[in-house]
Amino acid sequence: MLKIAVCVSGGGTNLQAIIDRIADGTLEDVRIVRVISNNHGVYALERAKAAGIEGICVSPKDYPDRAAFNEALLRALQEAAPDLVVLAGFLVAIPPAVIENFRGRIINIHPALIPSFCGKGYYGLHVHEKALARGVKVTGATVHFVDEDLDTGPILLQKAVEIREGDTPEILQRRVMEQAEWVILPEAIRLIAQGRVRIEGRRTVISGD
């Protein structure tokens, strides 16, 4: 049984994709032990509740400074004792102590093909705005392991998505989610649950069925 903690900041459609794949049996031997949001009142917490999963909020607003928030976040993760931490639209800089405590056990979904359109300032809708402004014809999503820097950890899965004439950032965001994010994030968890993923330096190696 792979126990996962899912960290969210907003709507939680990626969280929902994981919940749905567990429910329909695609993700075997995987259990979400806790959902952690850094924002109060987000829909992702409703999704957790509806699925009977413990959801908690650890918001920087409830702590005197960043250090106290970082410590609370680490505690919230440690209490849940997950095998894997899944950042599913978690728009928070991951504190070094969290990375150290869960080294090689944190994955993130990013809405572009890393190393394009990633790093500081590239999150959520901004990523799609920038891809459209640059005029690329193909974008996509990436699941990668999290290390000390932003979007630099070993890449686990990527899926390309076509950009079409007339796309708005919102239309493109939806297509990237439907065609890529909601597919490769559960798939990455499945591969890890099956013990098929190995990190080798900056790369990952996925072993066969």
| Positions that interact with ligand GAR (CB under 6 A) | 8, 10-14, 44, 88-89, 109-111, 123-124, 127, 177, 181
Query: Minimal distance in Å, beta carbon 120 to ligand GAR?
Result: 10
State which residue, 168 or 207, has the beta carbon closest to ligand GAR. 168
Structure tokens at 161: 């998505």
Quote the CA–CA distance of 85 and 144 in Å, as a whole number. 12
Q: What residues act catalytically?
A: 110
**Would you say 13 or 204 has its CB closer to ligand GAR?**
13
Q: Which residue has the tokens 């680490």?
A: 74
DSSP assignment, residue 181?
A: I
Residue type for position 140: G
The residues near 142 (Cβ < 8 Å, ≥ 6 apart) are 109, 110, 112, 113, 114, 118, 151, 155, 157, 158, 184
Residue placing its CB nearer to ligand GAR in the complex, 175 or 194? 175
